[in-house]
């Protein structure tokens, strides 16, 4: 009977907390629906190869390969510029009967597809050359020797591979590293900052602080400054560990990587404080993670947004992780400059300003000033 009495008391407490019930029952369904959509999106890679000095026949053969498109350039410099500007995924130049291929290598699946297409077409071209040579030799031979097998020699062109990012052993995980770096900064700062302010509120410290002449904005700025300093240290540790221990290659400026991750940490800090105003306990704060944090990783670019529906792209546009992931990927893997990522940085600043204003406004529920 005592066990049943305790059970009834716990159930009554849960039934009174409608928000907890909603998060327990609805949040898993939302996450499963997002995962079902994300992993059912067409993941087929399309590759564009920029060619320099390559024969028309080889270009036509490459164009015939499924999911491969060819663009011809008049010089190596123009092709390399197109590669840097993401207009092509790889370049192919022919010099002295050899081929020199350069891959962006920001997506290992595209690199693999380009390599496979090139090797297949070159084998086909070699076979066609042997057949043509065989026919020419047959025409020159006397009729009595036409049935004899001629000895032919075909020089096999060599393929020299080069990579703008990583090397030939790079895996799909290399593409995820910039995104995961930003996500872990976002997740832990969000969780710690939200829990901290919630603890202050539930313990009564916030109410006692609001009795003093201090302004609401002073409280928010104080929390952001203190936890912002901790977030900066955490960001430095994550970036340094990723670069030095995990040996992640950074093509661009390391200072830009730090700037992006620090701005993302401030966004997570502001969002964590803002979310904590809607939670009554640490348990409810944790329950916000499936709704607020998990979609950030789904729509951050792990799966190309271009292949998603319009509503999914619109959803990604209102999530800060999308802009941070774009900027980190551009700097780390594509050597982007400050000007090239200025739009993403501006978006992160707007998130910080809007969420900070929302935090100041949210304190009105605890004190009217």
Question: Do the beta carbons of residue 93 and residue 99 sit within 8 Å?
Answer: yes
DSSP 49: E
| Residue 149 in tokens | 């097998």
Average pLDDT over the chain reads 79
Instruction: Please state, in angstroms and as integers, the Cα–Cα distance from residue 28 to each residue in 22, 131, 188, 303, following that order.
Output: 10, 62, 21, 21
pLDDT at 355 over 50: yes
- CA separation for the pair 154, 317 (Å, rounded): 55
pLDDT at 348: 95
Give residue 41's pLDDT.
Answer: 65
The residues, any chain, with a CB within 8 Å of residue 162's CB and separated by 6 or more, are: 100, 101, 102, 103
Report the distance separating Cα 181 and Cα 216, nearest Å: 33
Report residue 264 CA to chain centroid gap: 14
Q: Which of 276, 243, 286 is nearest to 261 (CA)?
A: 243
Q: Residues 32-82: pLDDT tens digits?
A: 777 677 666 666 678 889 988 888 888 888 888 888 888 989 888 888 888
**In the predicted structure, residue 268 carries a pLDDT above the cut 50:** yes
The residue among 149 and 162 whose pLDDT is bigger is 162
- Do the beta carbons of residue 313 and residue 303 sit within 8 Å? no
The HSE-up count of residue 142 (CA atoms within 13 Å, CB side) is 2
Gap between the Cα atoms of 341 and 48, Å rounded: 24
Question: pLDDT value at position 368?
Answer: 44
Mean pLDDT of the region 133-140 = 58
Question: For 169-182, what is each residue's pLDDT tens digit?
Answer: 777 777 788 888 88
Q: What's the average model confidence in pLDDT over 279-293?
A: 79
Name the pTM for this structure.
Answer: 0.75
For residues 206 and 95, which has the higher predicted lDDT (pLDDT)? 95
**Which tokens is 17 given?**
């907390």
Give the integer Cα–Cα distance in Å for 28 and 35: 10
Distance between CA 104 and CA 186 in Å, rounded?
28
Largest CA distance in the chain: 113
Rounded to a whole number of angstroms, the distance between the first and last alpha carbons of the chain is: 51
Angle at 352 between CA 347 and CA 356, to 5 degrees: 150
Nearest CA to 60 out of 74, 70, 48, 47 is that of: 70
Region 4-31: what's the mean pLDDT? 71
- Between strands 90-95 and 47-52, the pairing is parallel
Give me the pLDDT at residue 130, please. Answer: 53
Cα atoms in the Cβ-side hemisphere of radius 13 Å centred on 68: 26
CA 334 – CA 109 distance, rounded (Å): 17
* Structural domains for the chain: 47-163 (3.40.1710), 171-365 (no CATH)
* φ/ψ of residue 309, rounded to 5: -70, 165
In the predicted model, what is the mean pLDDT of residues 331-338?
A: 89
Q: What is the pLDDT of residue 276?
A: 82
């Amino acid at each position: 009977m005592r066990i049943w009495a305790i059970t009834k008391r716990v159930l009554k407490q849960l039934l009174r907390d409608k928000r907890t019930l909603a998060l327990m029952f609805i949040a898993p369904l939302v996450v499963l629906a997002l995962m079902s959509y994300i992993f059912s999106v067409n993941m087929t890679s399309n590759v564009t190869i920029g060619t320099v000095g390559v024969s028309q026949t080889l270009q036509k053969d490459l164009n015939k390969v499924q999911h491969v498109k060819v663009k011809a350039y008049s010089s190596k410099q123009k092709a390399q510029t197109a590669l840097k500007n993401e207009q092509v995924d790889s370049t192919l130049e022919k010099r002295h009967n050899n081929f020199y291929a350069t891959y962006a290598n920001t997506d290992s699946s595209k690199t693999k597809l380009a390599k496979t297409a090139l090797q297949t077409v070159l084998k086909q071209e070699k076979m066609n050359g042997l057949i043509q040579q065989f026919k020419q030799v047959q025409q020159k031979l006397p009729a009595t020797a036409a049935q004899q097998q001629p000895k032919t020699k075909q020089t096999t062109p060599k393929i020299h591979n080069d990579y703008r990012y990583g090397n030939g052993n790079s895996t799909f995980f290399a593409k995820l590293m910039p995104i995961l770096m930003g996500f872990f900064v976002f997740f832990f700062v969000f969780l710690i900052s939200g829990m901290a302010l919630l603890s202050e509120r539930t313990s009564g410290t916030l109410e006692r602080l609001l009795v003093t002449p201090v302004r609401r904005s002073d409280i928010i700025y104080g929390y952001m400054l203190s936890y912002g300093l901790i977030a900066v240290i955490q960001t430095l540790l994550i970036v340094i560990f990723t670069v030095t221990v995990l040996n992640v290659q950074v093509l661009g400026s390391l200072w830009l990587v730090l700037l992006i991750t620090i701005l993302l940490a401030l966004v997570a800090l502001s969002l964590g404080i803002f979310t904590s105003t809607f939670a009554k306990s640490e348990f409810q704060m944790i329950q916000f993670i499936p709704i607020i944090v998990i979609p950030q990783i789904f729509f951050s670019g792990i799966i190309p947004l271009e292949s998603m529906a319009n509503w999914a792209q619109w959803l990604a546009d209102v999530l800060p992780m999308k802009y941070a992931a774009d900027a980190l990927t551009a700097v780390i893997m594509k050597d982007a400059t400050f000007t090239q990522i200025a739009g993403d940085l501006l978006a992160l600043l707007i998130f910080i300003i809007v969420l900070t204003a929302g935090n100041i406004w949210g304190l009105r529920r605890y004190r009217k000033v």
